[in-house]
Amino acid sequence: MSQVKNISDSLKPIVALCKRRGFIYPGSELYGGFANTYSFGPYGAQLKKNLKDLWWQTFVQKRRDMVGLDGPILLHPKAWAASGHLEGFNDALIDCKACKGRFRCDHLIEEALKQDAEGLTIPQMTDLIHSKKVKCPKCAAQDFTDARHFNLMFSTHMSKTGADGDVAYLRPETAQAIFLDYKNIVDTMRVKIPFGVAQIGKAFRNEITPGNFVFRVIEFEQMEIEYFIKESDWERLFVEWLKSMHDWCKLIGLNPARIHEKEHPKEQLSHYSKRTVDLVYDFPFGTSELYGLAYRTDFDLRRHAEFSGQNLEYTDPETREKFIPHVLEPTFGVERTVLALLCDAYDEEQLENGEMRTVLHLHPRIAPVKVAVFPLMKKDPLGPKAKEVFDLLQEMTACEYDESGAIGKRYRRQDELGTPFCVTIDFETIEDGTVTLRERDSMKQERVLIKDLVQILAQKLA
């Protein structure tokens, strides 16, 4: 099944660049593709790593109230009963009898009837789709089954006895792994409320996706924080976290004008939440959720205490008061961040000579390659000199060496990778020890001494 065919037109230039330049490949392409899976190629993997490292630095290393965790993907199945996922983590889906296509009812209603479907029951959705004669987006037939709930969790078996009781679930969110280790962290880490636990890891959801590239995939990474608080502090800390999330968006270079807050109406809140605000981003295919901030109350810890029979109360070290902490959850999807960054950074510019250049204006902080080094020509003495410069710069940052093809083409390639700086070694370098330093966005070039290069680049990249 080719994914590219299903991709919305507005994303196609970005998808093409991702493939051409080794950011993101369709999953299992060798076997004709595997729907809604993608592989992050060499530059995509580096971009993701830069993001995750920066997030960890920002929210764990630089804060005294946060610790990190790397919990398992497979949790005890009872955890999913306690969290409410076994019972309530569903999508309402409907099948077209004619072409056997399967669709999310809310997407179908929103697209065909331009009506918000949140909060509608299964019979209400079935009724609406049948009575308004909604057409199948694939084959245009008006012949749907009744809507049904499908659980989004992937299940697997632990190979003990092969019985139903051996079933295990791949986590659909990283959060629950944090709740399961809450007690261990309190007992071993000298943390005091308010404190947070951060985790970066994979989550899996068996979703029907409308083909918006990596916006909605079945396997993705979340960067999540569970911030444990006293109930009375929740409103104040909610506002603080919302601000921290906006600050993060600025730090990675997202355009603030494209980010908005979307408050979930009370009647549409998840079963665990008393308030949720999404940060939504103006993607080319429409404004959609990038991140979320939820006040999960004490729902999760209370349920895990109940289902496990363990005491999960916290004892205030000063007042000796005992209580189950409440929780704020800022959550950040890695793939959606990558997509927003690519959409924000992507540009096709007409140059003065009439040529077009495609460029990614990625913030230097997260760009996969920071500096590219080129000899004007491969041969002596330029090649060896350029390698010397490359060795020097490689000590300080992520560099790439490229000696093949016309220099203009090499610049274009780095523009498409979002490399902020290029350094070219030419015959003047051999005479006076200077190189050309070219900046990606302005394309301005200046001559600088090799001996000053590390310092100049360190300043520019900071």
* Piece of the chain touching ligand ATP by CB under 6 A; list 103-111, 115-123, 135-143, 287-295: 287-295
Which pair of tokens denotes residue 262?
């979307």
Torsion of CA 289, 294, 299, 305, to 10 degrees: 90
Tell me the closest approach of the beta carbon of residue 104 to ligand ATP, in angstroms: 10
* Position closest to ligand ATP via CB: 333
Closer CB to ligand ATP, residue 177 or residue 217?
A: 217
How many residues contact ligand ATP, by CB under 6 A? 15
> How many CA atoms within 13 Å lie on the side-chain side of 22?
11
d(CA 77, CA 86): 9
Instruction: Write the binding mask 189 to 228 for ligand ATP: x where contact by CB under 6 A, - elsewhere.
Output: ----------------x-x--------xx--x-x------
Tell me the closest approach of the beta carbon of residue 269 to ligand ATP, in angstroms: 11
Tell me the closest approach of the beta carbon of residue 175 to ligand ATP, in angstroms: 9
User: Of the candidates 185, 205, 202, which has an alpha carbon nearest to the alpha carbon of residue 72?
Assistant: 202
Mapping DSSP to helix (H, G, I), strand (E, B) and coil, where does residue 103 land?
Answer: strand
d(CA 36, CA 212): 9
Which pair of tokens denotes residue 368?
């996969």
Please provide residue 97's backbone torsions phi and psi, each rounded to the nearest 5 degrees: -70, -30
Closer CB to ligand ATP, residue 330 or residue 420?
A: 330
Tell me the closest approach of the beta carbon of residue 184 to ligand ATP, in angstroms: 24
Closer CB to ligand ATP, residue 61 or residue 268?
A: 268
Closer CB to ligand ATP, residue 181 or residue 329?
A: 329
User: Of the candidates 290, 110, 279, 106, which has an alpha carbon nearest to the alpha carbon of residue 215?
Assistant: 290
d(CA 135, CA 120): 19
Q: Segment 304-333, which members bind ligand ATP (CB under 6 A)? A: 331, 333
Closer CB to ligand ATP, residue 293 or residue 386?
A: 293
Tell me the closest approach of the beta carbon of residue 111 to ligand ATP, in angstroms: 15
Does 282 participate in binding ligand ATP (rule CB under 6 A)?
Answer: no
Closer CB to ligand ATP, residue 217 or residue 371?
A: 217
Distances (CA, A) of 448 to 387, 422, 431, 451: 17, 12, 13, 8
Tell me the closest approach of the beta carbon of residue 15 to ligand ATP, in angstroms: 16
- Residue 372, H or E segment: strand 371-375
Looking only at the bridges linking them, the beta strands covering 195-204 and 167-169 are: unpaired
d(CA 100, CA 112): 18
Tell me the closest approach of the beta carbon of residue 64 to ligand ATP, in angstroms: 26
Tell me the closest approach of the beta carbon of residue 271 to ligand ATP, in angstroms: 12
Distances (CA, A) of 279 to 10, 244, 336: 21, 12, 12
d(CA 93, CA 145): 10
Closer CB to ligand ATP, residue 4 or residue 152?
A: 152
- Dihedral sign, Cα of residue 190, residue 194, residue 199, residue 205: positive
d(CA 293, CA 56): 18
d(CA 397, CA 30): 34
Please provide residue 312's backbone torsions phi and psi, each rounded to the nearest 5 degrees: -110, 25
d(CA 209, CA 318): 50
Closer CB to ligand ATP, residue 184 or residue 287?
A: 287
Q: Segment 334-393, which members bind ligand ATP (CB under 6 A)? A: 335-336
Closer CB to ligand ATP, residue 220 or residue 228?
A: 220
Closer CB to ligand ATP, residue 148 or residue 262?
A: 262
* Piece of the chain touching ligand ATP by CB under 6 A; list 101-109, 135-143, 284-292, 416-424: 284-292
Tell me the closest approach of the beta carbon of residue 14 to ligand ATP, in angstroms: 16
Does 291 participate in binding ligand ATP (rule CB under 6 A)?
Answer: yes
Tell me the closest approach of the beta carbon of residue 343 to ligand ATP, in angstroms: 14
Closer CB to ligand ATP, residue 18 or residue 435?
A: 18
Does 292 participate in binding ligand ATP (rule CB under 6 A)?
Answer: yes
Q: Segment 394-453, which members bind ligand ATP (CB under 6 A)? A: none
Tell me the closest approach of the beta carbon of residue 204 to ligand ATP, in angstroms: 9
The single-letter code of the amino acid at 114 is K
d(CA 183, CA 361): 44
Q: Segment 159-178, which members bind ligand ATP (CB under 6 A)? A: 173
Opening angle at CA 5, ends 2 and 10, nearest 5: 135
Does residue 200 contact residue 173 with C-beta atoms inside 8 Å?
A: no
Closer CB to ligand ATP, residue 117 or residue 191?
A: 117
Positions in the binding site for ligand ATP (CB under 6 A):
173, 205, 207, 216-217, 220, 222, 289-292, 331, 333, 335-336
